[in-house]
Amino acid sequence: MKKLPSKSASLNPKEKKHAASAAPAQSSGLHLHTSTAVQKPAPAAYVMPPQLQAALNQVWQKSLPLLQQRVGVLDDALAATKAGQLNPELRAAAALEAHRLAGLLGTFGHPHGTDAARMFEIVFDSDAVLTPKLAESLSPALSTLHTIMSK
């Protein structure tokens, strides 16, 4: 798990106001090659108490097997697409797992993981005909997810 900012400083009202407005970035247009709703990192002045950091690490470690399973579904879907054998059930499962990964990885300090998973979600949740060429374009995103899962 990527370590989150941990500078020890308390929040003043101005910082609190800034933080309150620092909601995750929204994007109305979804494109495969653009960053989507990955929220801005917390301002450096924010405190990550060591106990919380440790607890988050524990949650990450506990969640890792399930997250790896989810990435495994994307593996299967991508392989099936490349082979021209993707069925609707696997496609739907891949879209769901990608959605879940996209919604979680950024929280653990992996915004690139959210980006990568979002690409899968966009593609598998669309009505587009999935060609082997399109599947090939997702390979770097899959590598990103595997790298994160191996940390």
* Site of interaction with another protein (CB under 8 A): 4-5, 16, 19-24, 26-28, 30, 36-42, 46-49, 51-52, 55-56, 59, 62-63, 66-67, 99-100, 102-108, 111, 114, 118
Burial 21-41 (b: 16+ CB within 10 A, else e): eeeeeeeeeeeeeeebbbeee
Closest C-alpha to 105, from 24, 15, 44:
24
- Cβ proximity to another protein, 49 vs 140, nearer residue: 49
Are 91 and 130 in contact, with CB atoms under 8 Å apart? Answer: yes
Smallest gap from Cβ 126 to another protein, in A, equals 12
- Cβ proximity to another protein, 82 vs 109, nearer residue: 109
- Cβ proximity to another protein, 63 vs 79, nearer residue: 63
Token readout for 135 is 């599947």
